[in-house]
Amino acid sequence: MAEAVTDTSTIASWEGDDVTVTQIEAALTELRRNEQRAAVRTSVLTLVAVVSDRGQADAALDVVYHLGARHPSRTIVVVVDDDADASSGIDANASVHVVERQGTAICYENVVLRVSGPARHHLDSVVEPFTLPDLPVVLWMPSRLPATGDPLLAAADRLVVDSRAVPEGGDVLTRIVALSRRLYVTDLSWIRLAPWRTLLAGLFEGGLNRPFLSGVYEVQVAGNRGPRHLLGGWLMQSLNLHRDAVSLTPAEHVSIRLSAAIDGRRGEFVVERAGAERIIESCIDIDGGPCVRQTLRMRRQWPALSLAGALTRVGDDVTYRRALAGALELAGERPPSSVTAPAVS
Amino acid sequence: MSVENPLHEPTLERVAPPAVLVVFGASGDLTSRKLMPAIERLALRHLLPGGFSVVGVGRTPMGDDEFRERMRTLVSEGGGGGDEATHVWDSLAGGFRYVAGGYADADTYTRLRQVLAELDRERGTSGNRLYYLATPPAVFSDIVAALGESGLNRPDTDDGFVRIVIEKPYGHDEASAAALDATMHASFDESQVYRIDHYLGKETVQNVLALRFANAIFEPVWNRRYVDHVQITVTESLGVGHRGGFYETAGALRDIVQNHVMQVLALTLMEPPAAFDAHGIRDEKVKALRAVDVFGPEQVATEVVRAQYRRGWVQGEEVPGYREEEGVDPHSVTETYVAMRLHVDNWRWAGVPVYVRTGKRLPKRVTEVAMQFKEVPHLPFAASQTEGLGPDLLVLRIQPDEGITLRFGAKVPGQAFQVRSVSMDFFYGAAFLEETPEAYERLLLDALVGDPTLFIRADEVEQAWRICDPVLSAWEEGDAPLARYEAGTWGPAEADRLLEDDGRKWRKP
């Protein structure tokens, strides 16, 4: 995906220091009015990214750039200036971009807001005027988790976080569970595991292999902290396994092994990444049957690809919530209370 | 499959079960142009399981390795391949086999059985088979009968599957389609038969269903009370190319109307299904087709226009007339254009004419459905204020610029009060610039996982022939004249008159 977007260009931009929200809105309208290609806009959401410095803002915009027009949206990047002594103010940069492909052009807008002083505690009031009417607002926190009382959560329909990118705090999963009570949460770490889950589920397609799912007695998952817990939790919950049947091992690359027995036959189902190359080996080895191996090349996990996957989800990801509950159990973390879906108005 | 896979999530793509794809007509054009690229793309998306195998069956003598290399080369030449695909073809290396032999020859099936048993043993394909008939239709019956006689038509175990995919044309008239069905059903249950029309694999054809049944704003006006008439257009700028010999035996009615047009018509006019599944969708499509009036011989003369292209200019190039094309009889009366005025006798559509047209060598390639709405009961403006106002229109563009156009009246800015029509275009590709699966990729995976929703059921084929057969019969009796049109135009004047008689005219897509 990242390589594919080479046809995006900036067609107009504006910037101003210490400006008001009204001025920024007027500038955005003017940018679109003066550029014919920006007159028609197709949007499916408003994406709000909250970062803490200019470098992170550039990184977020780079991801949005590579996202191209897959989920055409207005993107608002909020750079929060943590200087407690600074006075309230907003510096802004607004730009209109066009993606052209096969004769079709669509436009999207980026707004970067640098917010300082007391206003940084009221980001909802800064962001809401820029959200597109009637479309979902997705709040994206690339490298941190918001507090459950963060007022920005009230302005969002969905929260996208990356549990792997949050500084190790030990209770990341617990905090995500707490957040998921307020609104739908998508974890980019979980999205990146989708190819693994698809591959593993695929090993049990077909009448010969599927019965072994009811006879799984041991699951071994290796990988980094977080992903291995989520995978282990997912398998534990999906297959109704006891916690002791799942063992987790720290490793640089993911590997998953399921041992099963049914009607006196044993079967091993393995998916593993052997090294730095994106080569995945899968293997089905059933007593008395052929040993079926497959070698695949995993698609590169571009950040934009993961974000695109996250933005595809619009409702409650029940599987993730169950995996999260399982992961907490495997990590020995206590859930704040039972994991339930957020109340949706 | 009785037991669900708890690891499968609805939001994730489904992986095919272990199986052998047996392609009859493996050395043919369809296999290299459509099926093999679809297999490569499915493998690249990790949707084919380890052990997935392909057995080619064809008359051309060839070894296993030669077959695989030939397919790999042809896919690469067709725009596939690349670094990522190397792993795919390496992974499939042990799973490509080729059986050379005649399609009616029992020995071919004996050897096929041996190869399939080997693959089951070596690659764990569990007796699952998907037969794909990519051959000329003349040998469909031979293959189907031989598969039955050799016992390759049934799975060996209760939880295995044997399915058969068959390409159009499904018969050349109602009787031959019924005969083919009889042959098919002597060896296969209807639930095993997957009749493919690649139109149904197109994202935008499926989007017709989404548009109709996921939006409350369209359904209330989708009926005789608001719709004045419907136009279904399926046109091509190309001629018959090297398919002249085939086209002489088919013609536009068999090649396009009986299948693609009837499918698009059914999806456009059908009632909302209770569930979006194979039974729900196909039951409603059949009901819609059944409601289409069948012509008597005298109606064919007034409701149907057939025509053939003459020499002309298309997109800046001078092109030969149909009768000058390679493989075409210089005195041919085969139609390259058909226009029809259909009537649908049901509660929703009674009195709403459905105009259908298809043709080759027209100005451009277009597939679309246009719903033209009735005029308002009273227009409170002076005639001079509404000179630029046309009827409201909803156009579902299926190809090439997939999307929706809504035409409605708006005031022209200024002191004067002038109303004119404006078009609001929604480009499907602009809202979702995602890479969508090719039609064959989608349908091949559906057949492997056993989802027949987008395949055509026997009674759909029967109903489509029921509509087309009387037209073919009338033409064969020589009753209807064959009009001529210049290549690069929108068809003959006779087709224009079909609408002009009703006070209407064809859209210019």
Best mean pLDDT range from A106-110, A334-338, B403-407, B486-490:
B486-490
- pLDDT (0 to 100) of residue B13: 82
Q: How far apart (Å, rounded) are the C-alpha atoms in residues B480 and B471?
A: 9
Query: CB A295: neighbour CB atoms within 10 A?
Result: 15
Nearest of B173, B163, B243, B206 to residue B437 by alpha carbon: B206
For residue A210, give the chain B residue with the closest CA: B5
Write out pLDDT tens, residues A56-104. 999 998 888 877 666 778 899 999 988 777 788 899 999 988 877 666 6
Contacts of A279 in chain B (CB under 8 A): 87
Contacts of B433 in chain A (CB under 8 A): 68-70, 72, 99, 101, 106
Tell me the three-class secondary structure of chain A, residue by residue: CCCCCCCEEEEEEEEECCCCHHHHHHHHHHHHHCCHHHCCCCCCEEEEEEECCHHHHHHHHHHHHHHCCCCCEEEEEEEECCCCCCCCEEEEEEEEEEEEECCEEEEEEEEEEEEEHHHHHHHHHHHHHHCCCCCCEEEEECCCCCCCCCCHHHHCCEEEECCCCCCCCCCHHHHHHHHCCCCEEEEHHHHHCHHHHHHHHHHCCCCCCHHHHHHEEEEEEEECCCHHHHHHHHHHHHCCCCHHHEEEEECCCCEEEEEEEECCEEEEEEEEECCCCCEEEEEEEECCCCEEEEEEECCCCCHHHHHHHHHHCCCCCHHHHHHHHHHHHHHCCCCCCCCCCCCCC
To probe the interface with A, which of B1, B5, B45 has the most A CB atoms within 10 Å? B5
Q: How far apart (Å, rounded) are the C-alpha atoms in residues B139 and B309?
A: 31
To probe the interface with A, which of B91, B161, B433, B449 has the most A CB atoms within 10 Å? B433
Chain A: closest CA distance from residue B160 (Å): 6
CB contact under 8 A, B18 and A313: no
**CB contact burial A164-182 (16+ within 10 A = b; e otherwise):** bbbeeeebbbbbbbbbbbb
Q: Which of B51, B401, B433 sits opposite A292 (nearest CB)?
A: B51
To probe the interface with B, which of A191, A292, A293, A295 has the most B CB atoms within 10 Å? A292
Task: Give the active site residues of B.
Answer: 260
Contacts of A209 in chain B (CB under 8 A): 18, 126
Residue B231 in contact with residue B507, Cβ under 8 Å?
yes
- pLDDT (0 to 100) of residue B99: 96
Q: How far apart (Å, rounded) are the C-alpha atoms in residues A139 and A76?
A: 10
Q: Which two tokens stand for residue B433?
A: 């610039």
Q: Between A and B, how many CB-CB pairs are < 8 A? A: 134
Q: Which two tokens stand for residue A338?
A: 């039972």
CB contact under 8 A, A205 and B434: no
Q: Which of B50, B157, B434 sits opposite A282 (nearest CB)?
A: B50
pLDDT at A247 over 90: yes
User: Kindly report the CA angle at B184 between B180 and B189, in degrees rounded to 5?
Assistant: 145
Instruction: Going from the first residue of chain B to its last (509 residues), give the mean pLDDT of each consecutive group of 10, the final group possibly shorter.
Output: 76 88 91 91 89 93 90 83 76 86 95 94 91 92 95 89 92 93 95 92 84 89 96 93 87 94 96 90 96 93 96 88 94 96 96 97 92 91 84 88 84 81 72 68 94 93 96 88 94 96 91
- pLDDT (0 to 100) of residue A4: 44
CB contact under 8 A, A210 and B1: yes
CB contact under 8 A, A209 and B12: no
| Residue carrying the six token digits 């369809």 | B30
To probe the interface with A, which of B1, B3, B7, B159 has the most A CB atoms within 10 Å? B7
User: Kindly report the CA angle at B17 between B86 and B160, in degrees rounded to 5?
Assistant: 140
Chain A: closest CA distance from residue B144 (Å): 25
- pLDDT (0 to 100) of residue A227: 92
| Residue carrying the six token digits 């549990």 | A163
Residues from B contacting A (CB-CB < 8 Å) are: 1, 3, 5-9, 11-19, 46-47, 49-51, 84, 87, 90-91, 121-124, 126, 128, 157-160, 401, 426-427, 429-434, 449
CB contact under 8 A, B6 and A238: yes
- Name the more confident of B114 and A171: B114
Query: CB B476: neighbour CB atoms within 10 A?
Result: 11
**Helix/strand number for chain B, H first, E second:** 16, 17
Contacts of A195 in chain B (CB under 8 A): 46
Q: Indicate the helix (H) or strand (E) that contains B145.
A: helix B140-149
Write out pLDDT tens, residues A18-51. 998 888 888 888 887 776 665 556 677 899 999 9
Average pLDDT (A299-315) is 81
CB contact under 8 A, A207 and B6: no
Q: How far apart (Å, rounded) are the C-alpha atoms in residues B113 and B111?
A: 5
Q: Indicate the helix (H) or strand (E) that contains B22.
A: strand B20-24
- Name the more confident of B3 and A55: A55
For residue A269, give the chain B residue with the closest CA: B50
For residue B43, give the chain A residue with the closest CA: A296
**SS3 state at B33:** helix
Chain B: closest CA distance from residue A335 (Å): 24
CB contact under 8 A, A198 and B122: no
Contacts of B446 in chain A (CB under 8 A): none
Contacts of A7 in chain B (CB under 8 A): none
Contacts of B426 in chain A (CB under 8 A): 42
CB contact under 8 A, B124 and A208: yes
pLDDT at A344 over 80: no
pLDDT at A5 over 50: no
pLDDT at A1 over 50: no
Contacts of A319 in chain B (CB under 8 A): 9, 11
What is the pTM (predicted TM-score) of this model? 0.83
To probe the interface with B, which of A1, A3, A102, A208 has the most B CB atoms within 10 Å? A208
Q: How far apart (Å, rounded) are the C-alpha atoms in residues A152 and B350?
A: 55
Is the CA virtual torsion B360, B366, B369, B373 positive or negative? negative
What 8-state DSSP symbol labels residue B14? P
Residues in chain B, overall count: 509
Q: How far apart (Å, rounded) are the C-alpha atoms in residues B173 and A17?
A: 75
Backbone angles phi, psi at A291, to 5 degrees: -95, 105
Contacts of B87 in chain A (CB under 8 A): 279, 295-297
CB contact under 8 A, B11 and A313: yes
Residue A132's DSSP bridge partners are none
Contacts of A211 in chain B (CB under 8 A): 3
- pLDDT (0 to 100) of residue B357: 97
Q: Which of A70, A194, A283 sits opposite B12 (nearest CB)?
A: A194
Task: Say what the ipTM of the complex is.
Answer: 0.76
For residue B45, give the chain A residue with the closest CA: A299
Q: How far apart (Å, rounded) are the C-alpha atoms in residues B39 and A113?
A: 47
CB contact under 8 A, B126 and A294: no
The set of long-range contacts for B86-92, using a CB threshold of 8 Å and a minimum separation of 24, is B87/A279, B87/A295, B87/A296, B87/A297, B88/B40, B88/B43, B88/B44, B89/B40, B90/A295, B91/A294, B91/A295, B91/A296, B91/B43, B91/B50, B92/B39, B92/B43, B92/B52, B92/B53, B92/B54, B92/B68
Q: Which of A104, A198, A284 sits opposite B429 (nearest CB)?
A: A104
Q: Which residues contact B495 (CB under 8 A, 6 or more apart)?
A: B305, B307, B337, B339, B357, B483, B506
pLDDT at A186 over 60: yes
Q: How far apart (Å, rounded) are the C-alpha atoms in residues A48 and A140?
A: 6
CB contact under 8 A, A198 and B12: yes
Residue B116 in contact with residue B51, Cβ under 8 Å?
no
